[in-house]
Structure 1
Amino acid sequence: MSQRLDFYKSSPEAIKAMMGLEHRVSKSTLEKSLIELVRLRASQINGCAYCMDMHSADARKAGENERRLATLGAWRETPFFTDRERAALAWTEALTLIVNDHVPDNAWEAVQPHFSPEELTDLTLLIVAINGWNRFAIAFRAQPA
């Protein structure tokens, strides 16, 4: 498989807009490790190899351990994630797979106690951003380095 288009070069203004989302996420109070887990989980669901490669490396740089990374796809069956992380991962899955259930009440009820309103908005923005990046990378067949 070869890359179809270098989207970074083809429309710098589009990438600038996407980077605006990333800038806000970086200014949020969300933990760096949580941010990378969310990015990686959404990328796993979407099957984005480029983003999975990038965000697993970024998670390691942020101090994430191999055991948690190896079991992220089965986070419900492991004791390795906090309640806050579990809530964020469930929210990530609900928003990434929005066509399935349109974010059911149980996803909201699970996430809401663990995050302030600002954090919930920032978490949702993070999920929106990574799903957008996944779609750029998948559509244009970005390749891991």
Structure 2
Amino acid sequence: MSKYMLIMRNSGSVEKLEDMDFEAVINAMGAYNESMINAGVMVGGDGLTDAAQGAVVEFTTEAPIVTDGPYGELHELFNGFWTIEVATREEAIEWAGRAPLGPGNKIEVRRMTDETDFADHADNEYLQKEQEWRAQEGAAKPAADPA
């Protein structure tokens, strides 16, 4: 199984929310998330605040340059993401296609790297540490409430 990130791109649709029944938007997204949880593919996901509340750290000079939002062109912004774990790229695309999004939105589907992408460097100190960090992170997560 591979992990994929589904990146929700905003093409001005956020501004259209003022004209929408926000409760209906929440319900549609909730049902979509629930379908992925019930299928056992959703690992995580969140929405993001308005770009005006963000910043960009740019590495074009010796010292990084920080620019407050809004930043980038409208088509460059993204306003949420899901992390899913599925067998194939095609399955990830299928899940992306089920998102309850209207015209002007896009979802970028990207496979997240894993240890197989770095097999030629398996003896690297930091790759080995990362495996330890991930194991510690998994051990630190609380068990699901059986109630």
Please indicate, yes or no, whether the TM-score normalized by the shorter chain is above 0.5: no
Q: TM-score, normalised by structure 1?
A: 0.29
Q: Larger % of strand: which?
A: 2
Q: TM-score, normalised by structure 2?
A: 0.28
Q: Larger helix proportion, structure 1 or 2? A: 1
